[in-house]
Amino acid sequence: MVSVGEEVKENQQLAKLSVENIDEQIKKLTDDLKKSEDTYNQASNNKEIQQTNSLTSWQDKTNSTKAIYESKKSELDKSISNLTTTITAKKQRITELEELIKNGEEAVPIDPNLDAYKKELVEITKQLGETETELSTAIHNLELLNSNRQTEINAENESKKSYDYVQNESNHNSDIAIDAAKREVDRLYGELSKVNKLKKDPYLYAGSQGIVTEINYKENVLVDLSSPGIVIGDINKKEVLVSVDQNAIIKIEEGQKVEVQFSAYGDTIFYGTVKSRDLVGKNKNGTIQFDVYVEIDSQDKEILPEMTCSTKFISKEVKDIIKLSNKAIQLIEGIQYVDVKLTDGTIERREIKTGFSDGKTSEIIEGLSEGDVVVVES
C-alpha cells in the first residue's frame, strides 16, 4: 500500500496483513503463555520454599545448641543454689556446735553431750569442705559452659556469614530464573495482544508522520512480529549515516561537531552533531567499518533520503586566528618560512611558527600580522 520514499501521515494505513491461520497462532501463543506463567509461578514458589527450608534448617541447628546449653546451665544453676544453701546451713550448725561445746566444757558438771557435739562438729566440718569443693566444681563447670557457649555463638556467627553468602547466591540465581520467566510471560502476552488486535483490525498503521525509509516484508511471506515491517523516518529530523574505519572511530565521540557537504548542493556546508556511534564493527567488502549517526542542524534546504554527501569531523576548532594555506609555507632545515611582499614591492623571507592545522591550512601563531601579503610560488 506504500513504498520507500513515500510521505505518510500519522495513523495512515500502511499495509493489510493476512489473518489466515490466525486462530491457530492465537491458540499456540495462549498455550505458550500458560506454560510460561506456570514456569514463572514455579520459579517464584521454588525460591520461597528454598528460603523457608534453609531458614528452618538454620534455626533448628542454632536452637538445638541453644536448648542444650540452657538445659545444662539450668542444672548447674540449680546445683549451685542448693549447694550454697547447704553450705550456709552447715556453717550455721558449726557455729551452734562450737557454742554448745564451749558452754559444755565450762559447765559443772560437764555436759554429758559434749563428746557427741565434738563428734558432730568434726563430721559436719568435713561435710562442709566436701560441699564447698562441689560448689567450686559447679561454678567452674558453669564458667566453662558459658565459655564454650560463647565459642559456639562466635562459630555460629561466622557460619552465618557463609550461610548468608550461600543464601544470597541462591536468591540471585532464583531471581535470574524468575526474571527470565517474567520476561518471557511479558513477551508472549505482548505477542498475543498484537495478534488479537490484528484479528480485529488486520492493518498496519503509521505511528507518526514521516517518510517510509524501509519495507521489510514481501507479499504473502510470513513476517516476524518482533521486527518492524515498515520503518518511518521523522520528517523533521535529518540524519546522515557515515561509515568510518577503526582508526577513525576512536577519534569520534558523541556531541562532536561535523561539517557535511551534499553532492546536490555543491560547496554548501551543512553543520551537524554526532548523535551516536556503533561500538561493534561490520565487515564491509573485507574492511571493518563502524557506523556513525550524524544529525544535521535545522536548516531550510531540502535533504532527501539516499542523498550522497561527504563529512568532516571537527576534532578541534580554533577561532579568531591568522591562517595560511600550507602551500605558502616552506620548510628549510626544520624551520618554517614564508615569503612576504613588503610595501616597497620587495620580497622578505620571514620565519614563522604554526599551530593547529587541518591538513590544508595552518594557524599562524608567530611571524605574520593581519594584512601581511604572502607570496606563493606558482
pLDDT reading at 43 higher than 60: yes
Residue 248 and residue 336 in one domain: no
List phi, psi (to 5°) of 314. -85, 105
Instruction: Give residue-wise pLDDT tens across range 194-214.
Output: 888 888 887 777 777 777 777
CATH label of the domain that carries residue 302? 2.40.30.170
| Most confident among 84-88, 151-155, 220-224, 314-318 (mean pLDDT) | 84-88
Grid look-up 512480529 returns 225
Q: How confident is the model at residue 232 (pLDDT cuts 50, 70, 90)?
A: confident
Residue ending a domain, among 271, 295, 313, is 313
pLDDT attached to residue 262: 92
pLDDT attached to residue 235: 65
pLDDT attached to residue 224: 62
pLDDT attached to residue 170: 87
Q: Spell out the residues 6+ positions from residue 29 whose beta carbon is closer than 8 angstroms to its own.
A: 188, 191, 192, 195
pLDDT reading at 322 higher than 90: no
Residue ending a domain, among 313, 334, 354, is 313
Residue 74 and residue 146 in one domain: yes
pLDDT reading at 236 higher than 90: no
pLDDT attached to residue 226: 54
Q: Average pLDDT of 150-162?
A: 89
Residue 47 and residue 175 in one domain: yes
Mean of pLDDT over the chain: 87
pLDDT attached to residue 223: 63
pLDDT reading at 318 higher than 70: no
pLDDT reading at 18 higher than 70: no
Q: How confident is the model at residue 12 (pLDDT cuts 50, 70, 90)?
A: confident
Q: Spell out the residues 6+ positions from residue 314 whose beta carbon is closer than 8 angstroms to its own.
A: 256, 257, 258, 259
Q: Average pLDDT of 160-164?
A: 84
| Set of cell numbers at residue 228 | 518492524
Instruction: Give residue-wise pLDDT tens across range 90-109.
Output: 999 999 999 999 988 888 78
Instruction: Give residue-wise pLDDT tens across range 328-358.
Output: 999 998 899 999 999 898 999 999 999 888 7
Residue 14 and residue 95 in one domain: no
Q: Average pLDDT of 111-127?
A: 92
Which residues form the domain of 73? 22-198
Residue (of 315, 320, 313, 211) closest to 272 by Cα position: 313
CATH label of the domain that carries residue 339? 2.40.420.20
Residue 193 and residue 206 in one domain: no
Residue 223 and residue 361 in one domain: no
Residue 67 and residue 108 in one domain: yes
Residue 109 and residue 186 in one domain: yes
- Cβ atoms of 294 and 350 within 8 Å: the answer is no
Against a cut of 0.85, is the pTM above it? Answer: no
Domain count, the chain: 4
Residue ending a domain, among 260, 292, 313, is 313
Residue 58 and residue 14 in one domain: no
Residue 345 and residue 243 in one domain: no
Residue 213 and residue 286 in one domain: no
pLDDT attached to residue 50: 86
Q: Which contacts qualify for 23-28: CB closer than 8 Å, 24 or more apart?
A: 23/199, 25/195, 26/192, 26/195, 26/196, 26/199
pLDDT attached to residue 215: 78
Residue 360 and residue 309 in one domain: no
pLDDT attached to residue 93: 94
